[in-house]
Amino acid sequence: MPSETLVFIPPMLCDAGVFGPQILAMANDHAVMFAPTTKGERMEEIASQILTWAPGKFALAGMGMGGIVAMEMIRRAPDRVTRIALIATSAQSETPDAAAAREPQIVAAKSGARWQEVLEAEIKSSWMAPTTDRVALARHLTQMGQVLGPAVYVSQSRAMQRRKDQQATLGKIRQPAVVIGGRHDGQYPVKRQEFIAEMIPYARLEIIEDAGYLPTLEAPDQVTDALRRWMAMPQP
């Protein structure tokens, strides 16, 4: 049987580099595809676009905003997704307070002159693990954000504000699933990852001890190993 194509979907303001170690490692055994989230101001639009790019059937791995897009994709096309990995993400809609808090950042990003200020505010070193080289990782994330630019930030922020609650979607997932979180994640804490895993009937929970909100870069080998175990899980 041919190996499944593995589709990676990134967090906000991240390019393929956020999955760099995993893409290099997994490409030895699987066809690998990176799907950007740079078009559309709704999760539905982004999910639909990626579904037009993806092969007929594929394994799906999303982190942060990418995990939210992945949930929308499996809701729309459950027959096409063979398995799903949700990394450091949330299944809940944005709270009114969180949505309102995005508005000043959106205005600042649109002004152009304050774009660097917005980037620095979005990258929170305190959400990374104590063992992470926080300065180097923040620099790497800043570079990715600068390349993507303020227009992408604004569209992604709008998509995050308008996202739907996906808890009902989780309960309908019958494919092999893994939920991966970082022990020190200040954005999507362990309790939230435990909740997602409990909602999915056949999910495995993997908590990475030496990682925060970007486990693919903070603990790349551990995440790769978790993804390999997930890709080897039999269909239920």
**The domain that contains 210 carries what CATH number?**
3.40.50.1820
Full pLDDT tens readout for the chain, 236 residues = 457 899 999 999 999 999 999 999 999 999 999 999 998 999 999 999 999 999 999 999 999 999 999 999 999 999 999 999 999 999 999 999 999 999 999 999 998 779 999 999 999 999 999 999 999 999 999 999 999 999 999 999 999 999 999 999 999 999 999 999 999 999 999 999 999 999 999 899 999 999 999 999 999 999 999 999 999 999 88
Structural domains counted in the chain: 1
What's the angle, vertex CA 194, arms to CA 193 and CA 196, rounded to 5?
Answer: 65
Asked if residues 43 and 163 have their Cβ atoms less than 8 Å apart, the reply is yes
| Predicted pLDDT of residue 211 | 98
Asked if residues 78 and 172 have their Cβ atoms less than 8 Å apart, the reply is yes
Query: Which residues fall within 8 angstroms of residue 174, CB to CB, at 6 or more apart?
Result: 78, 201, 202, 236
Q: What CA–CA distance (Å, rounded) separates 76 from 4?
A: 19
Domain housing 203: 1-236
